[in-house]
Amino acid sequence: MNTAAVLPEAKSKPRRHINWRQQGIAYLFLLPALIIFALVTWYPIVKTIIYSFQAVNLQGFQGWVGFSNYGRMFGNPIFLTVWWNTFDYVLISLLLGSMVPVILALMINEMRRLSSIFQMLVYLPALIPVTVALIVWRAIYAPEGGILNSILKLFAIAPQLWLQNPALAKPAIIVIMTWIGAGGTTLIYMSALREIPSEIFEAAELDGFSPLQRVWYIALPLISARIQMMVVLQIILVAQVFTEPFILTSGGPANSTRSPVLEIYDTAFNRSDFGLASAWSVSMLVILAAFSIIYVWSWSRRDANKG
């Protein structure tokens, strides 16, 4: 009787005693991460927002300017151009690139002995430093004497100004980005395909499902969560495109490949207008954070599904 009365009470009143020695050790382990995160992420994030309301150049702080950086950003026609470009980049990459890894994964998965060779092959470009790949691609796309135009000549196709024609420059860049990025995504889809128990396909086959029907009704729905996640990630990454236009086109022709990050880079490091560049960063942060939150959310949901 007595013990029964005491026990719940003891439970409802947890000992509020803090073991300071234990806490000291816990924070000692955390300390390097806390210092580094504060230094290279938390502080700069806050500082970006502060800078966007200030005039800042190489000499440092020049005074508070209220919303004038934002006014200058929205007032400049380049703002619309750049975000329209971003929309184009994302759209073209979804059309040209998003389904490539799905198809590759399904096909490589059907290869019996050759599958590991093809896996390695498609992943290879992801291992090459991006600038090195771009230097080579720039030579391939060269308008005069470029190998791509020479090959097309065999098929009686007129030579094109791949990177100098506003209509072609963005798709040309997306092709390179697909060359670089499709392999990694393919591997992720392949591991998702291998998680599907083969009994399901066996049963479907016995029920008379054709291979294409099995792909459409079983394989694709079962990896769709992963596809959705990777497509959101693709949007986030493509919206941050920088190195490709920086090295291949410098944002040209006629700003048709200029991306937000390239504009931030030029504003900050070529015109040393850090305030305006920070306003740009904040606009980008707001737009991309929305997508990033979707991504992190679907990532944690996938984790929860896995148990």
Partner 1 sequence: MSSYSRGIMSNTEWRSPAGRFIKYFCLAVLVLAGIFVIFPFVFSFTAGLQSSIDVVKPGIHLFPAKPLWNNYLDAWRRFSMIKMFKNTFVAAGGGVLLQILVSALAAYSLSRLNPIGKNVIRAAILITMAIPGICYLIPRYILMTNLPLIHVSLVNSFWGLWIPYACNSFMILVLTNTFEQIPKELFEAAQVDGAGEGYMFFKIAIPLSSSIILILGLLAFIGLWGDFLWPYLILRNSDLQTVSVRLYTLTRSFPINLYLAGSFIAMLPPTIASLFLARYVKGGLTF
What part of residues 262-301 is at the interface with partner 1 (CB under 8 A)? Answer: 264-265, 268-269, 274, 277-278, 281-282, 284-285, 288-289, 292-293, 295-296
Q: Which is nearer to partner 1, 98 or 278 (CB)?
A: 278
Spell out, one character per residue from 198 to 217, where the chain touches partner 1: x when CB under 8 A holds, - when not.
x--xx--x-----x--xx--
Report the alpha-carbon angle 19-21-22, nearest 5.
65
CA separation for the pair 60, 54 (Å, rounded): 10
Q: Which is nearer to partner 1, 8 or 221 (CB)?
A: 221
Spell out, one character per residue from 56 to 95, where the chain touches partner 1: x when CB under 8 A holds, - when not.
----------------------------------------
CA separation for the pair 84, 236 (Å, rounded): 15
Contact set for partner 1, span 140-159 (CB under 8 A): 140, 142, 144-145, 147, 149-151, 153-154
Q: Which is nearer to partner 1, 1 or 304 (CB)?
A: 304
- Is the separation of the CB atoms in 288 and 239 below 8 Å? yes
Contact set for partner 1, span 5-34 (CB under 8 A): 18, 22-23, 25-27, 29-30, 32-34
Task: Please select the residue that binds partner 1; options are 69, 98, 119, 234, rule is CB under 8 A.
Answer: 119
How far apart are CB 106 and partner 1 at their closest, in Å?
A: 7
Helices of type H across the chain: 2-12, 20-37, 43-51, 68-75, 77-97, 100-110, 115-127, 130-140, 147-154, 166-194, 198-206, 211-214, 220-239, 243-248, 260-265, 274-306
- Is the separation of the CB atoms in 54 and 63 below 8 Å? yes
190 is an interface residue for partner 1 by CB under 8 A? yes
Instruction: Name the token pair of 235.
Output: 């949007």
Q: What would the DSSP string read from start to end of 162-185?
A: TTTSHHHHHHHHHHHHHHHHHHHH
116 is an interface residue for partner 1 by CB under 8 A? yes
Instruction: Name the token pair of 244.
Output: 């490709």
CA separation for the pair 143, 253 (Å, rounded): 14
How far apart are CB 6 and partner 1 at their closest, in Å?
A: 26
Task: Please select the residue that binds partner 1; options are 65, 168, 225, 247, rule is CB under 8 A.
Answer: 247
173 is an interface residue for partner 1 by CB under 8 A? no
